[in-house]
Amino acid sequence: MSAEGWEGPSFDLDDDHRSFQEVCRTFVAREMIPRVREAEAAGTFPAELWPAMAKAGLLGVGHPEEYGGTGGGVLALTILSEELAHSSGGLAITPLVSSYMAGPHLARFGNAEQKQRWLAPLLAGDVVAAIAVTEPGAGSDVAAMGASAKAVDGGYALRGTKMFITNAGLADVTIVAAKTDPDAGHGGITTFLVERGADGVTLSPPLEKLGWHASDTREVFLDDCFVAEEAILGTAGRGFHQIMEAFQVERLALAGMAVGLAQVALDDAIAHARERRTFGSPLSGHQTIRHRLATAAAELESARTLTYQAAARWDAGHPEAATTTAMAKLLAPRVASRVVDEALQIFGGYGFIEETPVAMHFRDARILRIGGGTDEVQLEILAKRMGF
């Protein structure tokens, strides 16, 4: 099926977004996919990809041009996330966290000096960033965090433990959320810029994860880590609101990853179904297999369309953008889990060995229903918007 020559109403991407999609797809095929196995085995992101991504304009989407950004909006970022996931979840999430989950805090809330020091080199691929909000006892409930920031002479002393922090071992700067006023609830949280090697900061060894093997994920321990007054990012006491604002883009990046991961798994399953022969015919010759692939394709297209719509609504300032984002973050990862499960089933025993990429995609898909706001959080958001 092709939309070529069609001039009626359409939800297809426009020429600019299609061109950007092709740039992303070409980069991933040439630079990232050949490095997947090595990165998965090493458990880290290949350092040479940072300058290559910057040169291709893939680290600055939506960021201010005066600091090295390349323009574009939330839809462009969603497309980038989708295409990066064609490599692996671990390779995709690493630059997404640095530029598009930590980076927006610098772009939106940093002062001129902070942007010049951290945002500009980040977009150039010279600096890696992380964001440390989640704790062992506080994930979706951000306001329940226990990390504290006690005022001391000239700044603050940070104490607490952060958990599941992506890029922690790679980051030159980490955005740390802590309570400057433990009695103020949502209004008592502040974010700080903590540099690599700061006194009072230690990291756990990399956490052994079910998926995303190519990403660096660790615990971060803060033991009276001193940060100067100038290290406050944004406004003291406004950290919770800053985090919630940035969550919207993060959720769409993760929804885009889900779509991309499901697409590559489905493509692999279709190719396998055409090549693998059973009972005298290709797998695709069996109606039950054809119909399962057709169902997966229909579900995936629905998730992609909703995700693109949510992103386009943010770019257009639509009043229901947040609602559509919650729907996309709920639907796309669920669809990805189903599609990848079907793909693995179609591969049979071959899908259960590491030689077949679908095994990696199967593992990588599961976290997308947890990170950036769980299924349950998205459902509660939607229920409240329905008046419950």
* Distance in angstroms (rounded) separating the CA atoms of residues 50 and 47: 6
* Distance in angstroms (rounded) separating the CA atoms of residues 335 and 223: 41
Residues 6+ apart with CB under 8 A from 222: 147, 158, 159, 160, 161, 162, 176, 178, 200, 201
* Catalytic residue (one of 250, 320, 342, 380): 250
Q: Is 250 a catalytic residue?
A: yes
What are the φ/ψ torsions at residue 79 (nearest 5 degrees)? -65, -45
Bin 299: left if φ > 0, else alpha if -120 < ψ < 50, else beta. alpha
Torsion of CA 209, 260, 252, 2, to 10 degrees: -170
Sign, Cα dihedral of 66, 70, 76, 81 = negative
* 3-class SS of residue 241: helix
Number of H helices, E strands in the chain: 13, 10
**Catalytically active residues, by annotation:** 250
